[in-house]
Amino acid sequence: MGKQLFLILNFVLLWWWSSITISGSYSQNQTDRLALASFKNAIHEDPFGVLSSWNDSTHHCEWQGVFCSKRHPGRVTSLVLRSQGLEGFLSAHIGNLSFLRVMVLQNNSFHGEIQPQIGNLFQLRNLDLSNNSFRGPIPSNLSHRLNLEILNLIDNQLVWGIHFDLGSLTRLKQLLLSKNSLVGPIPRWIGNLSQLQELSLAENELSGEIPKELSRLKRLILFQLRSNKLTGEVPTGILNVSDLHVFSVSHNQLWGIFLNDVGTASPSLYFLGASYNLFTGMIPSTLTNATGLKNLILLNNNFHGPIPKNLGSLKGLYVIALGLNQLQDDLSFISSLANCSNLKTLGVEWNLIHGSLPRSFSNLSTIKRISMSGNHIKGSLPLALGNLFNLSFLGLIDNFLTDCIPHSIGALSNLQQLHLSRNMFTGEIPSSIGNITSLGLLDLSSNIFQGYIPQSLGNCKQLIELDFSNNNLIGSVPAEIVGLSSLSIALSLANNNLSGSLPLQVGSLKNLGKLDLSYNRLTGLIPASISECLVLERLHLEANSFHGQIPEALRPLRGLKELDLSNNNFSGPIPSFLAELPLLEYLNLSFNQLEGQVLEHGVFLNASSVSIYGNTKLCGGVPSLKLPLCKSSSSKKSSSTKARVIYWVAGTLLCLALLLLCLAIFYHKKKQTTTIASTSLSFENQFLRISYEELLRATNRFSETNSIGKGRYGTVFKGILDGGATVAIKVLNLMQRGALRSFISECRTLGTIRHRNLVKILSVCSGVDFRGNDFKALIYEFMANESLEEWLHLGTIG
């Protein structure tokens, strides 16, 4: 018996060995080799050289990414080339690999259509072409690939509908078509794919209703229809699937009551996303049957009624986002959250929540983000607020909160944004806020704060926006605050009772977009250092007691859009540079003691942009201002012949000067192209001057190691300028269609980009490189890794 077994075993081993040696010698069948060769031919970029092993001296079964059959020597069963940066077309000859079971080309840059010959791959089980740039429709004759288990075409540019019938693919487990441009309805036959576990159709333009047939899919794990144009109700029973993990229908136009179904949902459900729809009904307390729930995201619907008191029995909760509904309750549910040891986000903003913050509020020690703005919350902030030491965002705008901010707030050492505006807080602003050095945004506006502005705020070196407007603050503007060079979005102290003069340190606000000190009792001259606030767009000093002439120091502020100096004691003439500020669209000089001639060009041409009332000694200007004529201009007419002579002489001189200038420019240009390429800056004064050569040095000649990312329109390099500053440099690939448009639009929106995304453009380099080609680059302040991805993405919007 044992001997027989031994013989059999021997035999099996022998057979196995021989099969290996046969496959080692390979058959003469060239079909697959030829197909692979033309697959390679259609690829024109191979940055990592993965296809260099695909050469004549090697058998195709040994080519990288190619795997062959043991039983059918020389026949390819798998082709796996993930993340190789391959760029090119998918060859139609791929359809000749008739033994192919697995084809994975994920995360490359294939473009063109998915060849219909792919429908000839009878054995195909796994087709993964995700993260490429395939265009056109999904090939319809895939529907005959009865063995197909995985179809992953996520993140391509596929169009048209899912119009053909894949309903016969009875083995299909994953149908993943997210992030394309598919239109039309979700076909009913999907309900016939009885093995389906993952259905991902998110981020397309699918419309119509969710077919009720989908509730037959009893094996679903992932159900993702986010960001489409679906309407109607969610079919009942769709959540009643024993193993469902992810249910996401956010950002559609779905309506009806569907949450009652959650009561029967599986304990595996951990993501429930239904935000930005028109859902109604209450949040049922049976929700807690879904014991595994981690993310409850129901933002922006019409849910009403109370918040389940037992929510906290879902111990795994990570995100609770119920904002922008009509939930009507007090905050007692918070007590139940004490055991949710993973809770990071709690949002109930813009509902009808009333009552006060329970003391247990300060026991949510893991929480990072609390958002409760726009409710009817009253009472005070808990004294132990400082226990929430993980907190990075606290939003309580538009409530009825009273009393002082507890001193313990200084212990929130991770806090980045504090929004408390439009409440009824009183008392002094606690100086301990200055201990929160991570603070980026501090908004205490529209309350009843009293006393002095704490100087300790000068320690908040990350602060980019500070708003204390509409309070009862007294004392002077602390030099420590106007010395905070990090301030870049806005500094507003408007509508208080501040006195004294504007400190010299205002010149440190080099990145600031908006400075509003209006409606206070400030006096003195405007410091000349204001000329260093080069990116200022809005300057509001109205309703104070500043005096002196309108300072020349405003001349370099070429980005100014709004300038309001009204209701002060400014005197003297209107300086001519005000007419030369290119972006100025609102100028208010009313109620001062200005005198002399009103200019007639620039912003002054448009009477609706300029206000100069209440300055009794002004004259001239465009007629619609209805000012008296100036005396000096009327005396000109008498000596017209004399004037003509003067004009003639001046004109001739001017022509001569222009000629000389042209010659100089011509000579300069020539020098530029023949010797060293230099660069010119399109935004003269506002930015650092950086040349192409300096960029070369900074980035080690744009070396690969300095590259930190690639966007659609260019590459981003990290570099160190001659001065030692670390910057990120986005070099535009001008061959790419749309790149130039992207450059122009980014330049045009310089200011707004900084505001929205907190990325500062330091400079713009636009000129020619050493080869004489056009070269354009944007130079940003270098951001730490965390936010890098976000703004790289920003850089790719065209």
Give the interface with ligand NAG as residue ranges (CB under 6 A).
28-29, 31, 34-35, 52-53, 55, 57-58, 83, 85, 92-93, 95-96, 106-107, 116-117, 119-120, 131, 141, 144, 155, 167, 188-189, 192, 236-237, 240, 261, 263-264, 285-286, 289, 312, 335-336, 338-339, 359-360, 363, 407-408, 410-411, 432, 435
Least CB distance to ligand NAG at residue 612 (A): 49
Which residue, 64 or 501, has its beta carbon nearer to ligand NAG? Answer: 64
Which letter does DSSP use for residue 315 in this model? Answer: T
C-alpha dist (Å) from residue 51 to 85, 99, 134, 768, 769? 11, 21, 21, 35, 33
C-alpha dist (Å) from residue 738 to 87, 713, 745, 763, 764? 19, 7, 10, 21, 18
Least CB distance to ligand NAG at residue 605 (A): 48
Least CB distance to ligand NAG at residue 153 (A): 12
Which residue, 39 or 546, has its beta carbon nearer to ligand NAG? Answer: 39
The closest of 34, 128, 43, 119 to 79, measured between CA atoms, is 128
Which residue, 411 or 515, has its beta carbon nearer to ligand NAG? Answer: 411
Least CB distance to ligand NAG at residue 344 (A): 18
CA distance 377 to 356: 5
The closest of 493, 456, 489, 491 to 471, measured between CA atoms, is 493
Q: What are phi and psi of 531, to 5 degrees?
A: -65, -15
Based on the number of CB atoms within 10 Å of its own CB, is 761 exposed (0-12), middle (13-18) or buried (19 or more)?
A: buried
Least CB distance to ligand NAG at residue 590 (A): 45
Nearest residue to ligand NAG, using CB?
Answer: 410
Least CB distance to ligand NAG at residue 30 (A): 7
Q: Parallel, antiparallel, or unpaired for β 761-768 and 774-781? A: antiparallel
Least CB distance to ligand NAG at residue 17 (A): 23
Q: Is 719 helix (H, G, I), strand (E, B) or coil?
A: strand
CA distance 524 to 501: 5
CA distance 158 to 179: 9
Which residue, 332 or 576, has its beta carbon nearer to ligand NAG? Answer: 332
Which residue, 66 or 397, has its beta carbon nearer to ligand NAG? Answer: 66
3-state SS, 406-454, equals: CHHHHHCCCCCEEECCCCEECCECCHHHHHCCCCCEEECCCCCCEEECC
Which residue, 335 or 486, has its beta carbon nearer to ligand NAG? Answer: 335
Least CB distance to ligand NAG at residue 465 (A): 22
Which letter does DSSP use for residue 282 in this model? Answer: B
Q: Which residue has the tokens 């022509």?
A: 655
Least CB distance to ligand NAG at residue 258 (A): 11
Which letter does DSSP use for residue 730 in this model? Answer: E
Least CB distance to ligand NAG at residue 264 (A): 5
Which residue, 178 or 446, has its beta carbon nearer to ligand NAG? Answer: 178
Q: What are phi and psi of 229, to 5 degrees?
A: -125, 45
Least CB distance to ligand NAG at residue 273 (A): 17
Q: What are phi and psi of 481, to 5 degrees?
A: -80, -45
Which residue, 52 or 632, has its beta carbon nearer to ligand NAG? Answer: 52
Are the C-beta atoms of residues 682 and 764 closer than 8 Å to each other?
yes
The closest of 293, 335, 345 to 317, measured between CA atoms, is 293
Which residue, 282 or 625, has its beta carbon nearer to ligand NAG? Answer: 282
Q: In one letter, which amino acid is 207? A: S
CA distance 488 to 465: 7
Are the C-beta atoms of residues 412 and 386 closer than 8 Å to each other?
yes
Beta-carbon contacts of 139 under 8 Å, excluding residues fewer than 6 positions away, are: 113, 114, 115, 116, 118, 119
Least CB distance to ligand NAG at residue 538 (A): 33
Which residue, 119 or 137, has its beta carbon nearer to ligand NAG? Answer: 119
Least CB distance to ligand NAG at residue 384 (A): 8
Strands (E), 277-316: 278-279, 295-297, 304-305
CA distance 613 to 591: 6
Which residue, 53 or 472, has its beta carbon nearer to ligand NAG? Answer: 53
Least CB distance to ligand NAG at residue 161 (A): 15
Q: How many helices (H) and strands (E) does the chain have?
A: 9, 54
Which residue, 533 or 716, has its beta carbon nearer to ligand NAG? Answer: 716
Which residue, 53 or 253, has its beta carbon nearer to ligand NAG? Answer: 53
Which residue, 54 or 604, has its beta carbon nearer to ligand NAG? Answer: 54
